[in-house]
Structure 1
Amino acid sequence: MALLPKPAGSIAGGRIIYRGRDLAHEPVKQVRELCATEIAMIFQDPLSSLNPVFSIGYQVAEPFRRRQGMGKKEAWARALDLLKHVGIPNAEKRIRDYPHQFSGGQRQRIMIAMAIALGPRLLIADEPTTALDVTVQKQIMNLLADLQAETGMAMILISHDLGVVADVAERTAIMYAGRIVETGTIREVYDHPAHPYTRGLLDSIPSTSDIGKRLTPIVGSPPNLLALPAGCSFHPRCPFATDICRTVEPPLRQPVGWLPGHEAACHRSEEVLAHG
C-alpha cells in the first residue's frame, strides 16, 4: 500500500498483482491512490493507529472529506452511520469521544469502520484480534465475515492463530523468515502439511485428546532476517534437513503426485507428506 517511507519500506523483490497490475513496480503515488478506495487495511493495534488528538467521528469522516470532497456535515452523518453499522453502542453520543475512551474491541470496530468507509475491493486485516479476549475476538471476526458477505470484498487475514485462519479462510499461505513456504486450500495444508514448519505449527497446537501430555515445540529460534542462513532458512530447526537444504534455497513447487495448487518450498516435501 506504499504507506512506509523508503528505504525502510522498499520492496526487495517479487510481484504484487492486483487486478492485473503489478503494484511492486508502480510509482508510489499511483499505489497510494488505491488506498481506501480499492485496498484498505486494519492494523494490529488500533490504539496506536488511531490519532489520540482527534475524535473518532473526525477520523471516520476524514476519508469522505479528503477522497470524495464531502462537506463536513454530510461526512459526519456518513461517519455516524458507519459507527452504528459496526456496532458502536450509543454512536450518536460517542462520535465525539476520543480513542482512549473506548475498549480494545470498540477501537477495532472503529478501525473497521474507517477501513470500509469507501467500499474497498480488498481488505487487509493484520492480526485484527490481537490482545482481545476470546469472546470479543469472535465478535470481531463475525463482523468482518458479515461485512465481507454484505459487500463482496476480498479479505487477506494475517494471523498467528491457526484456529481463526481455519474458521474464515479458503486458502492459506504459511510464511517463515519473510517467505511463503507452503500454500494451498485450508483443508489441503492442515490435513496434509508438506513443509516441516507447517507440520511443526500444527503439531504444537494443544489437543483435548492429549490432556496431561507435553506440547511438541519447534526447536530453536527464528533466524535473524538480516543474516539468513544459506539454503532453506528453516534448516537449522528442521528434523528433515539434509546437505542440500543447507546450501540450496528450495523453490515453491507442487509436491510430486499431490493436488494442483498445493505448493511447498521444501526439498523433502514428499517425505514430509509421507511422514504424516
Structure 2
Amino acid sequence: MTTTAFDLSAKLLTSDSRWSACTDDGTAIAYLDDDVGFDKIECAHGNAFLFAGNSQVIDAWKNFLRSGPLSAEGRPQIAGIALLVAEMASGAVIYAYGQDIALPNAQNPTMPVAIFAGSGSIWAAHCWNVNRCGRKAIDSAKAGDKFTGGATKFLELDSGNHNLANSISVEQMKTEFLKKGMVMYINSAQQPQPLTTAAANDPKVKELCDRIAQGQATVSAPCDAMWMNPSQQDEDRLDAVLNQIFAAK
C-alpha cells in the first residue's frame, strides 16, 4: 500500500507512488502505480513534508501549504495520515507523527539514522540496514510488500534534486485511478488485471469503483497511523512547528 523513508545520513526523502483501495471483504485491492503527479512528498517554506495515509487529508495539506499560510491556524487535521517534516537546510527532523520504524543512531541517541512508515516499512528498514540507501530501501519494500509499488520518488534535501511532479489534485488522481488502475486478488494465483476489466466482471470491484467515484470510498497510501488518534501533545507540537516555519518565511 505504501512505503516512505527518510535517510537522515544522506538527507534523502523517498517513497513509492502506489495509491490503493480495498473491497469491503478485503479480497481485492485496487491500485494505481502510474506516476500521475500526486506525490507523497511536498516542499514548502524551506521544509519537506513526507506523507502517507488518506489521500483526501494529504490533498488538504498540499493545498494548505500552497496557500501561503501565516500561521498554523486553519491547518488540516493529522488524523488519518503519517507526517514527517524535515528542514531542508539542515536535514533535521522537526516533526514526526505516525512513523512506524526509527532506526537508532549510536552516535546521537536523540536523532535516528533513518525513519520509515507504511506497510513496507519493515522490508525498507532491513534493506537500509544493509545498504544504507533510501532508494534501494523503497525498491526492497516493493519486492517484499505487495502493497508497495510504482515509481520510487525522491527528494535530495542538500541539492534540491528530485523527481516529483505534484501537478494534479486528489480528484484528478481519483479519475486517473478509475481509468488506469489495476486489481490484485488477495490469496489468489490470479494475475493483476485492469480495474475496468475487473469491475465489469466482479460486483465487489464495481461497487468499490462506484463508491470511489461518488466520494464514498477513499484512495489511500495506507499506514498504521490511519487508525491512530493524535494526542493533544501531537497537535500542539505540530502547531508550534508550523508557526515557527511560517514566521521564518
Q: Shorter-chain TM-score: what band?
A: under 0.3
User: What's the TM-score once normalised by structure 1's chain length?
Assistant: 0.21
Structure with the larger strand share: 2
Structure with the larger helix share: 1
Which structure would you say has the larger RCO, counting Cα contacts within 8 Å and 6 or more residues apart?
A: 2
The TM-score with structure 2 as length reference comes to 0.23
Larger radius of gyration: 1
